Amino acid sequence: MRKIIIAVIIVSFTLNSCLKKSGNECVFNACAFTASSAEIQTVQNYLSTNSLTATQHCSGMFYRIENPGTGPTPGPCSNVTVTYKTYFFDGTILDQSTTPVPVNLTQTIMGWRIGMPLLKTGGRIVMYIPPSIAYGNQNVTDANGNIVIPANSYLVFEVDLISVS
């Protein structure tokens, strides 16, 4: 029982340090959650094997800004409109959108909340996201219960930021 209470306190503290509302403003500590050194090493190995260069964020996510954009910058709680492509490190495509999709960043994985504020409207980013700031050790299933993203998956997101509201 004591271990459960300690775990709840740790999770509560961590979540509260990550995303808070201060009046109408969203306050977010992008480095509150960090990937393990093993996860970071796996991403570094992937990048090296595929001759890719990317910048490491303090969270352990790696990213490459292909176009920084010129318009407004989203915050970690912004509503954005994007097009995207998502795939596993082995190249298997999970999902993609060629038509703009509205997204509230508070409803996304941590990696998106970290990465999207690095862009301005009109920009393009490629994010290499380790499991702990993606879906973690949870399987992601579809409406029929089929696993679409296995637990502990490493993901790549190519995202074009169309607009911020």
Is the model's pLDDT at 113 over the cut of 90? yes
- pLDDT over 90 for what percent of the chain? 76
How far apart (Å, rounded) are the C-alpha atoms in residues 42 and 154? 9
Q: Using one digit for the tens of pLDDT, what is the confidence trace for 92-112?
A: 999 999 899 999 999 999 999
How far apart (Å, rounded) are the C-alpha atoms in residues 96 and 163? 18
Q: Using one digit for the tens of pLDDT, what is the confidence trace for 1-29?
A: 333 333 333 333 334 334 445 445 677 78
Pick from 162, 117, 131: nearest CA to 27: 117
In the numeric block, which tokens belong to residue 97?
A: 């959108």
Q: What does the domain layout of the chain look like in residue ranges?
A: 33-164
> What mean pLDDT, rounded, does the chain reach?
86
Is the model's pLDDT at 119 over the cut of 70? yes
Q: pLDDT band for position 30 (50/70/90)?
A: confident
How far apart (Å, rounded) are the C-alpha atoms in residues 48 and 36? 18
pTM: 0.84
User: CATH says 33-164 is which class?
Assistant: alpha beta
Sign of CA dihedral 128, 101, 109, 94: negative
